[in-house]
Every structure is written in C-alpha cells, then in structure tokens.
Chain A
Amino acid sequence: MTVVQLDVDGPAAPPRSNGELVFAQPWESRAFGLAMALREAGTFEWEDFRTELVARIAAWESGHEPGECFSYYRCWLEALERVVVTRGLVADRAVGDRAGELAARPAGWDHGHDHADHDHVH
C-alpha cells in the first residue's frame, strides 16, 4: 500500500480534479472500505469478489425495474454480501435481519447530544 504525497490544493488536485466526488453518498464509501479491509485481511481473493461483482452488474443489466437508475455500489454491496455469505462468515439472513433492526430504531436515535447548548423542543 503506497500513499504518495500529493499537492491536494493545486490545479491538478486529485481526485476531484474533474469535478466529481469519488463517493456520491457516505454508504458507498463504507461499502468500498469494507471490501478493501476484507481484502487486506486476506478474507477473500479480489478475483472472487470481482466475479460476483460482474455477475451482479450483468443481472442488473438483464433485468431491472423500468426507470431504475444503475447503482454501481449497490451491485458492489450485493457482491460483497454474496462473498461473505458464501464463505460462511455471516449467515444468509443475518444482514437483512440486522438491517431490519436498524430500520426499527426510534427516530432521532443518533440525536443523543447535550441539549444545554440550544433550546429547541423535541
């Protein structure tokens, strides 16, 4: 892993030099980071992940809801799930179950700040 020191504010500042953010939404960056961390830990061969990614992209292209926009990182996440489930690292239904639990969190669950600094009413 090589980190090269770069001029991040100059005219050729990477990687935004062409006006595009690398990740459109935070979850995309988490999905990316998960794959990279698993790879670094030697959990899977990158080629195995890539094969699943190719399959997910092909599946989307051969059949999706009319008007549904292509989401590369959705395919990426689905491929990653497939890889970890296939290897028995996470049970098949575990991700959906956990996501359901997260969805059931009460509104404002992450709003646990100190109220002393402002006076809004909940």
Chain B
Amino acid sequence: MTRIPIELRTEALEQLLVERGLVDPKVMDAYIKMYEKDVGPLNGARVVAKAWTDPEYKARLLDDGTAAVAELGFKGPQGEHLVVVENTDEVHNVVVCTLCSCYPWPLLGLPPSWYKDPAYRARVVREPRTVLAEMGLEVPADRRIEVWDSSSEARFFVLPRRPEGTEDHTEEQLVALVARDTMVGVAEVRA
C-alpha cells in the first residue's frame, strides 16, 4: 500500500469513484477552488470587526456563534456548533483539535499545516505558554491561558482583544488588522 506513490492512489480513487458516477469532477473542482480562493480568514476578520464595533452583535456572537456568523452570510461545512471565546485582560484563549483538525471552515478556511501537526496538537495542551512563546506570543504571566479542544460538537473561534489606538478606526479598517492566527489564539492583533 505504501509503495505506490500517494498521488497515484489518489488518482486511482478518483477514477473509480467518477466511473461509478459517485463523484462529479466539476463538484470537486468547485470545492477546491472555493477553499483555495474564496473562503478564508477574511470572513473571520469581518466577524471580529463587527463584534468590536457593535456590542449587540458581540452579545449574540458569544451567545450563539453559528447563528451570529450566519447573519453575515458565513455558513457551510464545518460551520456548525461554533463557540466563540473572548480574550480579555484576564484570560487568553487558544484553540486546538487534539484528535484531528476540527476548525471553523466558513470563518477561517482550511487550517494551516501547523494546526494539523502532531506536535502542536499534543504540546499546546500540556504547555500552552511555552508553545505560544515559541510561536511569538508572550502571554503576560498574570493572564490565564485557556486551551479549547475543538471537535464536531464544538468548534472554537477566538474573539481577540481590540488593540489600543484603534478607537477611531472604522469597521473596514479594523478588518484589515485581524489575521488568521489571532482568531486561533496564537497571536494578538496589532494596531
């Protein structure tokens, strides 16, 4: 099984499924293009910026993540059971999927390779402060770190802290500040 190159195994499986009428290559192409080009962290950034500028939206987001992001049109595979956790001065949240790669696709697209890596998945649970420091995020010693293990029952999404000095920013300006890693909890938003 392992001697056959993986790309040929993939091609073989695709051929067999297409021949049996179980898979439409056009549907495959559409999904690939969608996650390569259209669905990505910008969606999550829009959610964050809206939560920062609209307290009522933020309350709805924290109450029922899936429904609140659907208001902005973000839904689809892996978007169910979205749970939003808010970073504050007291607590920093970081997300992992210890068993596989559960991740809120409609908001962030497909997960980056480090998120799927066995080392991250195992270590961030045991020693989050050290792992975050290695990734360039020094969490103040007096700030608690909460690690959230995503699954099919709950996919976690971090609402990062709004940086100081952005009080006069418009929602669109805020969107541009929010990078993917801040919504997984391995980075902070910088003004």
Contact = CB atoms under 8 A, between A and B. Distances in A.
Contacts of A4: 38-39, 43, 73-74
A54 to B, nearest CB: 5
Contact of B28 (A23, A33, A72, A98): A33
B13 A34 contact: yes
B41 interface: yes
Contacts of B100: 50, 53-54, 57
Interface residues of B, number: 60
Interface residues of A, number: 66
B16 A34 contact: no
Interface string B158-182: 0000000000000000011011110
Closest 6 CB pairs of A and B: A14-B40, A15-B40, A33-B28, A98-B12, A15-B109, A27-B7
Contacts of B73: 2, 4
By secondary structure, the A interface counts as helix
Nearest to B9: A99
Nearest to B187: A18
Given A22-B35, A36-B28, A70-B118, A43 B42 contact: no
Interface of A: 1-8, 10-18, 20-27, 29-34, 36-41, 43, 46-47, 50, 53-54, 57-58, 60-61, 70-72, 74, 77, 80-81, 84, 89-90, 94-96, 98-103
18 contacts: A3-B34, A4-B38, A6-B38, A6-B40, A13-B40, A18-B181, A24-B113, A27-B10, A39-B77, A41-B22, A50-B102, A50-B152, A71-B6, A84-B17, A90-B16, A95-B12, A96-B9, A98-B15
Contact of A103 (B8, B13, B27, B106): B8
Interface of B: 1, 4-17, 20, 22-24, 27-29, 31-32, 34-43, 45, 73-77, 99-102, 106, 108-110, 112-113, 116-118, 152, 175-176, 178-181
B179 A18 contact: yes
Contacts of B38: 3-6, 8, 14
